[in-house]
Amino acid sequence: MTSFADLGLPRDIVSVLRKQGITEAFPIQEAAIPDALAGRDVLGRGPTGSGKTFTFGLPMLTRLAGAPSKPGRPRGLILAPTRELAAQIRERLDEPAAALGLRVIDVVGGVNINHHIRALAAPVDVLVATPGRAEDLISQGKLSLSDVEITALDEADQMADMGFLPQVRKLLDRTPENGQRLLFSATLDGDVEKLIARYMHDPVTHSTAPVEAAVDTMEHYQLLVGNRDARNKIVLQIAAREGKTIMFMRTKHGVDRQVKKLRRVGVNAQGLHGDKGQGARTRALEGFTDGSTPVLVATDIAARGIDIDDVSLVVHVDPPAEHKAYLHRAGRTARAGTSGRVVTLVMDEQRKEVDQLLRKAGVDAEVVRVAPMSPELVRITAARQPEGTPLPPPGQQPAAGGPAKRTSARRSGRNRGAGGGQASGRPRRGGQQRKRKPER
């Protein structure tokens, strides 16, 4: 294995990584960091969890070190599709940047823009931004991209799927034409190819595995649940299990309804979707990360870029609309070499649709007929009968008379496997075990 010191990164960065328990590079980092350090344009393809954040972030910091920046005029720009991913990138780069005397800030939608205006009033070296908020700040005259030397696009295919590419092109047009560009994505096709052709100069491409290979450390199941009533009962029982569980729904209203149902039976669940305010989204992720909220119910906004340790089970309550969404949802478990389980709840009328979806995704899922609290359901998901008292809506205090009992809330953030007692999180290879999130 190659160490970060071998890749030519500064001693100060290597020291910070060592203190975090990170010493050896993932394959995408080993392949792409030397080219990025040399100033080449880089295309990186790999599934989430493969270490892309450090792959573009550490060379950017290294190349920007030692020169001054001005207020509102960053020299490094990182564009990300969601608020959560932008915040996560900034958190990952904070310590390495500080070691080099650099300042990283994030600007995202859903936050009072005056906070960002104040943050930009001081010199900023690297700006992590969602496209819409960056454009807002430019239109108000508070941000200029004229000094940007290096631009990184993370999850470029998701930005294409979300319709952000017109904004991304406008932002890239505002950066110097001869700047270095680093583009990272799970796939490099379709609209992403057009972006590459227009803005990148003789890029070198580094791929880890195709996105389909990200399923190899997961166990996949189609759980045939019969009708909707049976499915709804099964969802409550799966949610009452031990361990961190993400449940995916297709719509925002579906998320909100499911959270209410779970909390009514004492399961401490919170929802995550695009209409949630930033405070609610942050609370939901923080609770899920530390284990105090063991169940996160989400739309596909959480299917990429949300990097949380020890998610032992992903549940497709609503099967996704297309195969890429399945793979990215599934990628919330089995991260950085650990294992996990992915189950799709399939009603009788959905069987043909789900079979076609999984074939396109390249997933071989075991098909099992289950019923509420059936032995097979318990074996696969560690389902339990919920026995807690009702919980108030997220963010509200329990009614007088003492805190409500939580059937699934964890006293610690530690995860148990889908079988209930066996830990599913294996030590990460190469000494990359750490208390914080594994993706870089």
What CATH code is carried by the domain that includes residue 257? 3.40.50.300
Q: Sorting pLDDT into bands at 50, 70 and 90, what band is 409?
A: very low
Are 183 and 36 contacting, i.e. CB atoms less than 8 angstroms apart?
Answer: no
Q: Is residue 429 assigned to a domain?
A: no
- Statement to judge: residues 53 and 168 lie in one domain: yes
Q: What is the DSSP string of 228-297?
A: HHHHHHHHHHHHTSSSEEEEE-SSHHHHHHHHHHHHHTT--EEEE-TTS-HHHHHHHHHHHHHTSS-EEE
- Can you tell me the distance from the alpha carbon of 200 to that of 181, in angstroms, rounded to the nearest whole number? 6
Q: Is residue 435 assigned to a domain?
A: no
Q: What's the pLDDT tens digit per position in 15-59?
A: 999 999 888 888 889 999 999 999 999 998 866 666 889 999 999
Query: Of 177, 209, 241, which one is at a domain's C-terminal end?
Result: 209
Q: Is residue 436 assigned to a domain?
A: no
Tokens 């990186």, located at residue: 44
Number of structural domains found in the chain: 2
Q: What's the pLDDT tens digit per position in 293-334?
A: 999 999 987 666 566 778 889 999 999 988 878 887 887 775
- Statement to judge: residues 145 and 221 lie in one domain: no
- Statement to judge: residues 122 and 252 lie in one domain: no
Query: Of 209, 233, 263, which one is at a domain's C-terminal end?
Result: 209
CA 150-107-90 angle, 5° bins: 65
- Statement to judge: residues 157 and 281 lie in one domain: no
- Statement to judge: residues 182 and 314 lie in one domain: no
pLDDT at 385 over 50: yes
Question: DSSP assignment, residue 189?
Answer: -
- Residues sharing a CB contact under 8 Å with residue 82, sequence separation 6 or more, in sequence order: 130, 158, 301, 304, 305
* Percent of the chain's residues with pLDDT above 70: 83
Average pLDDT over residues 410-429: 38
* pLDDT value, residue 186: 74
Q: What's the pLDDT tens digit per position in 215-228?
A: 456 789 999 999 99
Q: Is residue 247 assigned to a domain?
A: yes
- Statement to judge: residues 283 and 363 lie in one domain: yes
Q: Is residue 327 assigned to a domain?
A: yes
* pLDDT value, residue 82: 87
Query: Of 180, 209, 238, which one is at a domain's C-terminal end?
Result: 209
Residue 61, class by beta-carbon neighbours within 10 Å (0-12 exposed, 13-18 middle, 19+ buried)? buried
Average pLDDT over residues 73-97: 94
pLDDT at 181 over 50: yes
* pLDDT value, residue 427: 37
For the ranges 112-126, 151-165, 407-421, the one whose mean pLDDT is highest: 112-126
Q: Is residue 372 assigned to a domain?
A: yes
Average pLDDT over residues 91-119: 95
Q: Sorting pLDDT into bands at 50, 70 and 90, what band is 361?
A: confident
* pLDDT value, residue 334: 54
Q: Is residue 222 assigned to a domain?
A: yes
* pLDDT value, residue 310: 81
Joined tokens for residue 201? 């100069």
- Statement to judge: residues 255 and 394 lie in one domain: yes
- Statement to judge: residues 168 and 287 lie in one domain: no
Q: Is residue 128 assigned to a domain?
A: yes
Lowest mean pLDDT among 240-249, 264-273, 409-418: 409-418
- Residue burial 76-115, b: 16+ Cβ < 10 Å; e: rest: bbbbbbbbbbbbbbbebbbebbebbebbbbbbbbbbeeee
- Statement to judge: residues 353 and 228 lie in one domain: yes
Q: Sorting pLDDT into bands at 50, 70 and 90, what band is 275?
A: confident
Q: Which domain holds residue 277?
A: 215-424
- Statement to judge: residues 224 and 122 lie in one domain: no
* pLDDT value, residue 163: 84
- Statement to judge: residues 234 and 190 lie in one domain: no
- Statement to judge: residues 184 and 289 lie in one domain: no
